[in-house]
Amino acid sequence: MNGGSGRLDLPGVSGQSGKPGDEHSPVARSSDQSLPWHSDSDVNASCSRAHSDARAQAYKILSVRARTEKELRDALSKKGHDSAVIDDIVGEMIRCGYIDDVDAAHRWAAMCVNERRHGAKGIAMRLVRRGIDPDLADEAARSAYSAAGLEEFEVALELAEKRVKDDDLCDDKARLRSQRRVAGFLARRGFRSDTIARVVRELFR
């Protein structure tokens, strides 16, 4: 106790109050040294930089080719961005119209139909692999065939005819092998089973 002041003197700290509010207090100094302090402006600046980096990378990714929402999410995730930042940037790209899975699905399906290499199921599977919702992919594939005025049978028959040679019809064994080969090929291209059966009947009747 120091005289009649009522102040408690800490050992070795003569004349200092030791109150946390005092800038000379050993308590204050110890606190400053052990607890890192960040202002709201520091946190906001860090968040802003993270969003700016992710936004710039999103624009770069989308400038190469159109992407689905899933493709952009996966690409940003591989760049090491936080999920919350990815949610914000992907949402921004969707609002700006840079990502539109519905439009992309219908455009890609139309391109596939024009290539005349896959059935509706095969086209839908290709869209799903790019991140399109399965129901949307199926609807886009069927709509593309309808819009093009094509039937799966026409496309499947055209593809199958190119794979059948004269030697494949020379005897029953060769005919059977060719039928199986054609059926397997069309199945892998995503044509319906009834379409495949119709094509086989047409080619090997």
Instruction: Give the torsion sign (CA, 38, 41, 45, 47).
Output: positive
CATH number at residue 182: 1.10.10
Does the pTM surpass 0.95? The reply is: no
Structure confidence at residue 164 (pLDDT): 87
Residue 180 shares a structural domain with residue 130? no
Domain-located, residue 121:
yes
Domain-located, residue 9:
no
Integer Cα distance of 55 and 30 in angstroms: 41
- Residues paired with 13 in a beta bridge: 10
Domain-located, residue 163:
yes
Q: What is the extent of the structural domain holding 63? A: 46-95
Residue 205 shares a structural domain with residue 158? yes
Are 126 and 112 spatial neighbours (Cβ–Cβ below 8 Å)?
yes
Residue that is last in its domain, among 117, 134, 150: 150
162 alpha carbon, distance to own chain's centre:
36
Residue 201 shares a structural domain with residue 155? yes
Domain-located, residue 14:
no
Q: pLDDT in tens for each of the 205 residues of the chain?
A: 444 443 323 233 334 444 444 444 433 433 344 434 444 554 456 568 889 999 999 999 999 988 999 999 999 999 999 999 999 999 999 999 999 999 999 999 999 999 999 999 999 999 999 999 999 999 999 999 999 999 999 999 999 999 888 776 777 888 888 999 999 999 999 999 999 999 999 998 7
- Tell me how many domains the chain contains: 3
Are 148 and 157 spatial neighbours (Cβ–Cβ below 8 Å)?
no
Residue 117 shares a structural domain with residue 84? no
Domain-located, residue 20:
no
